[in-house]
Structure 1
Amino acid sequence: MIKHFFPRFNIFFVFSFYIFNILWFNVGLSGVIIYWLLRVGFLSENFYENPAVGISILLFISTIIGLIVTRVAGKLMLNPICEMLASMKKLAGGDFNVRIGNSGLLRPKELRDFSEEFNAMAKELGSIEILRSDFVNNFSHEFKTPIVSLRGFAKLLKKGNLSNDERQEYLDIIISESDRLAALATNVLNLSKIENRTSFSGHSLFNLSEQIRRTILITELKWSEKRLELEVDIKEDIYFLGNPELLSQVWVNLLDNAVKFSYQSGKLRIRLLNYNDCVVFKVEDFGCGMDEEIKAHIFDKFYQGDRSRSTEGNGLGMTVVKKIVSLHKGEILVESRPSQGTIVTITLPKQANEKQKPLL
């Protein structure tokens, strides 16, 4: 009960408590020692008649007791601070598993709060280190795979004893792997630009409807190759105040994913809705869909639901999408079931000064 009661006091109370008890302990123990010296006859009963002798003896005894008590009390008071300093040195040295205990008799509230915040910081830094290590490993894998492929097929082409069909096939693979490397570099660069940002600049009022129409045209080659039927519902020109360059990446990534995971000769539904306080973009495919495990990780860096990695992509697209949407204070919702397709909904709130479309 005492251990739960004392830590509620602040550092001023605890410090005062120590000083007060040191003084009283010093005076009390000095009195006991002088009484004992009188009883054993070491001091005569009339020693107090000579004040100089009495004061000297009292000062000597008090000094010895004070040094011993102060040493013990000081160690008790400074132990938590020494522990904190040692823990901070370990943390600075890269040991993110270090923790500071926040229990103990007469540990003030300030030190308990510091310990809790320090432990939370160390835990967060440990998580960041794990993410950094995973990022390096995944990036190395994603970068190395196409390079090895390029090197292998370049060696085969160098031999020269190939048919024209084989040469064309190997050249197509080299071009495809080069495109994959370029896409990986682009996504990593985009992610590095926006990952640590909490706001964005370069925002302007632009025609969001027209931007999405252009994105559909840009991805036409991909969805036409799969003979997808597009159902587009963008009936009006919707103007939005945001960063058009960043948002363009969102639509391209979402449409690429929708096409990629749609079945051959399937259907793709794209909608843009305008409300008083927000705009809503929806893209729905009727392809392979996702289970709950895959859906829980789709925003993780380098995560790919297709563990065979037979489909195009590097697992960064949805990470970039989520960050850009967050920068616009928006929300992203993913609904999906295996073999039933996926619906991705982006909700972007309108700015306070955003009005109707500008007069042209």
Structure 2
Amino acid sequence: MTSNFWARLYVKVCSKMGKSALAFMLSLLIFIILFLTMSIFAIAILFMLKYGLIHGMIEPTIFGPIIFLILSSAVVGTTLTALFSRIPLKPIRRVVQACNKVADGDFSVRLPVSAIEEFNIFARSFNRMTEELGSLEMLRSDFVNNFSHEFKTPIVSLRGFAKILKNPHLSEEERNEYLDIMISESDRLTELATNVLTLTAIENLNIISSKTEFDLSEQVRRSVLILESKWADKNLEMIIDLEDITYLGNDDLLSQVWINLIDNAIKFSPNNGKIKIKLKSHEKGIAFKIMDNGYGMSEESQKHVFDKFYQGDQSHSTDGNGLGLAIVNKIVKLHDGEILIDSEVGVGTSFTVTLPQ
């Protein structure tokens, strides 16, 4: 308690000292400007007197008024500046107070419009910054809450079924059923941990240093085959149109892009549905497009589809943890590419990945 009191007192004293120091510096600056101006004026007059450029006054007569003018102007100017410095410094004080609030975690603070255009530009930039910080704070909070929920749910499930298995009167069929559920929940935990580690690793990357040249079309085919059991279980028709393309990039990272996008399309496709996959080259680079005839997404869901742990319409939620598309988005950006989504509720969804050649 005592340490907090002294900390708050120190902050208040520093804040007061900061305001006084700012006013003092402004007064000192005005004083220096006035003093230099009057000194240059006095030197110029003395120079002209010395070389006879002006007449009518002897040097001692004019020197006294000049000194008096220099000193009186400096004193009066500095005094007025000290008295009225609070007016021009008011916007700066607002900025200092707003910055202190942001440092304390209050991202709702906004700077008002000022009569000075330069301060207006700064205010708009500051307000935009606090708005973005507020959004990031909400996203961080949601991330923590969602991660805790996603991580806790399978653990609770595993614990519950483990207790049930201790019952000696369970039939062999029931025991196998519960074991299968526990295996499924374990896989879910493993996938969650893997995705979080992957996302953390790629978020710390700014550039991709390990690039190799590989067959992109073959990589997409291999991704489709990896997920064959999933689309075969739903009896999905896979319509694949791949142009033979060689690409220079990170083989492992891009493989995750295609697997996540195809897996996402399979999850949200109805039984006996269709998935179309196209890979084409064009003037600006390479375009990969995947389309399904699943549930589709609302405009609001499309805005957040690349956010961590976002799973859209919960009435159509399926197995997953909402990290796949966040990973896809980051990997595409690392390759200087772009990913676009086009979706309509009840019609389907398409993702288009554009990569530069």
Fold match, TM over 0.5?
A: yes
Q: How many residues align?
A: 304
1:114 Cα offset (Å)? 3.6
> TM-score, length-normalised on structure 1?
0.73
1:199 Cα offset (Å)? 2.7
1:133 is matched with: 141
Determine whether 1:73 maps to 2:84: yes
In 1, the alpha carbon distance for the partners of 2:294 and 2:129 equals: 43
Aligned identity (percent) is: 56
Q: How big is each residue's C-alpha offset from its partner over 1:166-189, in whole Å with a ceiling of 9 and x where there is no partner?
A: 111111111111111111112222
Change over 3 Å in CA distance of 1:71–1:243 after alignment to 2: same
Give, as a single letter, the amino acid of the residue that structure 1 aligns with 2:84.
A
Give, as a single letter, the amino acid of the residue that structure 2 aligns with 1:79.
K
Determine whether 1:216 maps to 2:227: no
Determine whether 1:123 maps to 2:131: yes
2:246 is matched with: 239
2:182 is matched with: 174
Determine whether 1:228 maps to 2:239: no
Which structure exhibits the higher relative contact order, with contacts defined as CA atoms closer than 8 Å and separated by 6 or more residues?
A: 1
In 1, the alpha carbon distance for the partners of 2:240 and 2:267 equals: 18
In 1, the alpha carbon distance for the partners of 2:73 and 2:277 equals: 87
In 1, the alpha carbon distance for the partners of 2:324 and 2:195 equals: 7
In 1, the alpha carbon distance for the partners of 2:71 and 2:226 equals: 93
- Matched residue SS, 1:159: coil
2:160 is matched with: 152
In 1, the alpha carbon distance for the partners of 2:314 and 2:171 equals: 33
In 1, the alpha carbon distance for the partners of 2:292 and 2:123 equals: 50
Aligned counterpart in structure 2 of residue 272 of structure 1, from 266, 276, 279: 279
Determine whether 1:90 maps to 2:101: yes
In 1, the alpha carbon distance for the partners of 2:123 and 2:238 equals: 58
Change over 3 Å in CA distance of 1:343–1:102 after alignment to 2: closer
In 1, the alpha carbon distance for the partners of 2:217 and 2:173 equals: 44
Q: Which moved more, 1:148-157 or 1:340-349?
A: 340-349
**5+ residue gaps in structure 2?**
1-25, 35-64
2:292 is matched with: 285
1:215 Cα offset (Å)? 0.8
Give, as a single letter, the amino acid of the residue that structure 1 aligns with 2:238.
L
1:296 Cα offset (Å)? 3.2
> TM-score, length-normalised on structure 2?
0.74
Change over 3 Å in CA distance of 1:287–1:71 after alignment to 2: closer
Determine whether 1:305 maps to 2:312: yes
2:353 is matched with: 346
**5+ residue gaps in structure 1?**
1-14, 24-53, 351-360
Change over 3 Å in CA distance of 1:247–1:74 after alignment to 2: same
Q: Which moved more, 1:253-262 or 1:116-125?
A: 116-125
Counterparts of 1:106-117 in structure 2, within 5 Å, are 107=116, 109=118, 111-117=119-125
In 2, the alpha carbon distance for the partners of 1:288 and 1:191 equals: 27
Give, as a single letter, the amino acid of the residue that structure 1 aligns with 2:250.
N
1:108 Cα offset (Å)? 7.6
Determine whether 1:294 maps to 2:314: no
1:112 Cα offset (Å)? 4.5
Instruction: Quote the RMSD (CA, aligned, Å).
Output: 3.4
1:312 Cα offset (Å)? 0.8
